[in-house]
Amino acid sequence: MTLPAFEPKIIVNNDKCTIEGNTLKSKYTYTSNLVTKNDSTNSYIVDTVKKDYEFNVDLNLPKLGIMLVGLGGNNGTTLLASVLANKNNLEFYSKNFKGLKKANYYGSVTQSSTIKLGIDPKTNDEIYVPFTDILPLSNPNDFVITGWDISDLNCFEAMQRACVLEHDLQMQLKDEMEKIKPLKSIYYPDFIALNQNERANHCFNRKSEAEGNKDPLSLDGLTKNKWSHVEQIRDDIRNFKKENNLDKVIVLWTANTERYSTIEAGVNDNADNLLNAIKNDHSEVSPSTIFAVASILEGVPYINGSPQNTFVPGVIDLAEREHSFIAGDDFKSGQTKMKSVLAQFLVDAGIKPLSIASYNHLGNNDGFNLSSPMQFKSKEISKRGVCDDMIESNQILFNDKVGKTIDHCIVIKYLNAVGDSKVAMDEYYSELMLGGHNRISIHNVCEDSLLATPLIIDLLVMTEFCTRVTYKKLGEGATDYEQFYPVLTLLSYWLKAPLTRPGFKPINGLMKQRAALENFLRLLIGLPPLDDLRFEERLI
């Protein structure tokens, strides 16, 4: 079944784009500059290469199911609450707002931002349109949501535990939220902090008292057989899809940060070895990898919103083999998003960042889990790499003589009292001309889950959109349309440590990521990539 078709709001007057039935067809010539350096003369040779493509976009919107790993966590309950609040047009009282506050999706690019379309020929004003006007995108109000959690609280109780939303809003959502209870999840105590053990009372790999486990929270009561866990998750996905008459399902991990898995030859280095390792209950197969493998085998997209290396080489290999979409890692919401903008600004301005000191403390369960050194290490790795492509882009500031790194210190502390209001402090210390220095200090207080949840919405919306786009190369004898490469790097804007296709380096600069996203949507409706040359203003 399909929801009502998208009504086009933008008509582009050229021959690049046509609509045939429920399919949007567009042609685009991709131009790339291939650069070879001549070391003997220290010069560059540039060859411009052009390739012609044809894209198809299915304009039918599916009935979409969302399965969250960590449904009972801060992000999971906040996402569910935001969808219900917006769907029901709720209004509520807030201590920080006079009068009634209406439900909204602020912070979501797809729901609350605009894209430049062009220039008004009469006034020379730039014309911006809502992101959702460009092409048909799923409406989060229509999401059908369920998921897994290691805690047995229903979603109203879990929302109360999270202490993210205003009390008035929570009480308005009570009747609907308490009807929703997570599916049982899996718990491998070696991968998350042991301080989560008391919370883990809802796991299908944990024996109950009825099964002879005298202590329900004893680590001795945990069963292995990891392949059965894959099969259970696959069953959950199939049952959810069937029971709700869904066209598509997307699985997203928003549960605890895990420790890094060790990459071992013969264990997780390719698809076959990984599947065998799961069947042999190998200790280096993490819960998030189990969920990823189950999703891939079911042919549903899987998004990793935490920093651990869920996508070991064997998972990427399996996704390639099964032609199933994956994306990750780690939501880029606050402190790191600022870093991906400010570091880019400094380097592009010819200012050399010497050090970045990043500190934050928070009191939610994410912070509690990160108080364990192994889990913090995963987060540190995802945060540390955010400036790598910026360093490599400027060989004047960063070279063998003056150094190719930024001294980057990252500290995260758990303070229960601050709850979900994460406090972040950053200092950027940079070198100016003739021995001068510049210090930029930022103090940022943010409600962590209210920044992360809109990112989750965007990742889900854009992942579903990518499943409806196919392409073929023109002039090369191609007859069949293909889908994107399984690693969805187009989603990098929302991810702290973007997963890339093997052999490629990630792009972390936020503005570059946004430009790629906008320009891709533009070409699909027959518009050229956006530039700001503004010849109307600058040329006679």
Q: Which two tokens stand for residue 13?
A: 């007057």
| Three-class secondary structure of residue 125 per DSSP | coil
pLDDT of amino acid 2: 40
Look at residue 6 and tell me whether its pLDDT is greater than 70.
no
Confirm if 109 and 522 have CB atoms less than 8 A apart.
no
First-residue to last-residue Cα distance in the chain:
55
What average pLDDT does range 477-497 have in this prediction?
92
Confirm if 283 and 224 have CB atoms less than 8 A apart.
no
What proportion of the chain, given as a percentage, has pLDDT over 70?
94
Pair type for strands 302-304 and 326-327: parallel
Q: Which two tokens stand for residue 505?
A: 């380096």
Look at residue 247 and tell me whether its pLDDT is greater than 50.
yes
Q: Write out 383-400 in H/E/C secondary structure.
A: HHHHHHHHHHCCCCCCEC
The whole-angstrom separation of Cα 130 and Cα 35 is 37
Look at residue 531 and tell me whether its pLDDT is greater than 80.
yes
Neighbour tally for 135: CB within 10 Å: 19
Residues 121-165: pLDDT tens digits? 999 999 999 999 999 999 999 999 999 999 999 999 999 999 999
pLDDT of amino acid 169: 97
Given the residues 184, 226, 337, 379, the one annotated as active site: 379
The region of weakest confidence among 234-238, 251-255, 332-336, 462-466 is: 332-336
Neighbour tally for 263: CB within 10 Å: 13
Look at residue 295 and tell me whether its pLDDT is greater than 70.
yes
With 0-12 / 13-18 / 19 or more C-beta atoms within 10 angstroms meaning exposed / middle / buried, residue 493 is buried
Residues 418-429: pLDDT tens digits? 887 888 899 999
| Three-class secondary structure of residue 457 per DSSP | helix
Angle in degrees, 0-180, between the axes of helices 74-87 and 448-466, rounded to the nearest 10? 70
Beta bridge partners of 62: 2
Q: 366 versus 14: which is more confidently predicted?
A: 14
* Annotation marks residue 9 as catalytic: no
pLDDT of amino acid 375: 72
Task: Output the DSSP codes for 329-375.
Answer: S-B--SHHHHHHHHHHHHHHTT-EEEEEEEEEEE-SHHHHHHTSHHH
The whole-angstrom separation of Cα 202 and Cα 222 is 12
pLDDT of amino acid 212: 61
Given the residues 330, 389, 448, 458, the one annotated as active site: 330
The whole-angstrom separation of Cα 522 and Cα 343 is 28
What average pLDDT does range 487-511 have in this prediction?
92
pLDDT of amino acid 188: 92
Q: Which residues contact 262 (CB under 8 A, 6 or more apart)?
A: 284
Given the residues 422, 426, 448, 458, the one annotated as active site: 422
Look at residue 111 and tell me whether its pLDDT is greater than 50.
yes
Q: Which residue has the tokens 């189950």?
A: 294
pLDDT of amino acid 322: 97
Strand order of the β-sheet with 437-447 is: 407-414, 352-362, 421-431, 437-447
Q: Which residues contact 83 (CB under 8 A, 6 or more apart)?
A: 140, 141, 143, 145
The whole-angstrom separation of Cα 263 and Cα 56 is 38
Look at residue 203 and tell me whether its pLDDT is greater than 70.
yes
Q: 361 versus 382: which is more confidently predicted?
A: 361
Look at residue 341 and tell me whether its pLDDT is greater than 80.
yes
pLDDT confidence bin for 216, thresholds 50/70/90: low
The whole-angstrom separation of Cα 290 and Cα 171 is 36
pLDDT confidence bin for 3, thresholds 50/70/90: very low
What average pLDDT does range 371-377 have in this prediction?
70
Which of 7, 144, 153 is closest to 73 using CA atoms? 153
pLDDT confidence bin for 82, thresholds 50/70/90: very high
What proportion of the chain, given as a percentage, has pLDDT over 90?
65
- The domains located in the chain, with CATH, are 335-448 (3.30.360.10)
* Annotation marks residue 422 as catalytic: yes
Distance of CA 375 to the CA centre of its chain: 19
* Average pLDDT of every residue of the chain: 90
What average pLDDT does range 446-470 have in this prediction?
95
The region of weakest confidence among 43-47, 52-56, 221-225 is: 221-225
The whole-angstrom separation of Cα 540 and Cα 533 is 14
Residues 270-291: pLDDT tens digits? 999 999 999 999 999 999 999 9
pLDDT confidence bin for 237, thresholds 50/70/90: very high
Q: Which helix (H) or strand (E) element contains residue 32?
A: strand 23-38
Look at residue 478 and tell me whether its pLDDT is greater than 80.
no
Q: Which residues contact 221 (CB under 8 A, 6 or more apart)?
A: 206, 207, 213, 215
pLDDT of amino acid 417: 86
The region of weakest confidence among 30-39, 371-380, 520-529 is: 371-380
With 0-12 / 13-18 / 19 or more C-beta atoms within 10 angstroms meaning exposed / middle / buried, residue 298 is buried
What average pLDDT does range 215-223 have in this prediction?
70
> What are the helix (H) ranges across 101-142?
109-112
Look at residue 92 and tell me whether its pLDDT is greater than 90.
yes
Q: 506 versus 372: which is more confidently predicted?
A: 506
Given the residues 184, 248, 352, 496, the one annotated as active site: 496
Pair type for strands 114-119 and 126-130: antiparallel
Confirm if 108 and 454 have CB atoms less than 8 A apart.
yes
Pair type for strands 302-304 and 114-119: unpaired
Look at residue 4 and tell me whether its pLDDT is greater than 80.
no
What average pLDDT does range 374-390 have in this prediction?
74
